[in-house]
Amino acid sequence: MKQTHGQARLPIEDQDFVDGVIARYQERPGRLLSILEALQEHHPRKFLPIEVLDYVAAKAGIPTAQIYSVATFYALFNLQPQGENTICICRGTACHTRGSRNLLERLKLELGLRAGEEEGGADKISVTTPDGKFTLRTVACFGQCALAPVVEVNHSILGHVNEQALQREIEALEGRRK
């Protein structure tokens, strides 16, 4: 990477991709959300590196603080590398009363995550296993309360999940890698 004005620049191929994404959404309302979503989806580890956010700010003429505010406000954006597989457990009231806390604790044990490793506190978790195979996250609510407890596995919503069903999902993901 080259240095300009004291800031790291993106490799030219990354600049070209980001420029194309900005151009594609330039005239659309809510363009920033679309730009960030496309850039995160393009990244192999499904996150938004700070250098990319800085570059978008410079190229799109959007204040860096505004971009960072959007990227940290919406739960779908990640500022840290994600695992090969993502598992997100709903912690909303309906899911909590139907056992999502037990699912969360069971999954932490299953993935070998110890208490205190998670970022964000007790009810907002985002942690990736050391081998990079799984990212475990929580959300306040998926809005699928009739299906409680709800778990999202690799962007697929599963409803009425119990510990056995979650175990089968993890085993299937692990079997796929072998």
Residue extents of the structural domains in the chain = 3-73, 85-177
Which DSSP letter does residue 37 get?
Answer: H
Low-confidence stretches of the chain (pLDDT beneath 70) = 1-8, 115-123, 176-178
pLDDT of 155 reads 86
pLDDT of 136 reads 95
For 28, residues 6+ apart whose C-beta sits below 8 A from its C-beta are 34
pLDDT of 175 reads 81
Q: Which two tokens stand for residue 127?
A: 């942690």
Q: pTM value? A: 0.74
pLDDT of 40 reads 96
Burial readout 19-52 (b: 16 or more C-beta within 10 A, e: otherwise): eebbeebeeeeebbbebbbbbbeebeebbbbeeb
* Topology of the domain covering 85-177: Glutaredoxin (3.40.30)
pLDDT of 115 reads 59
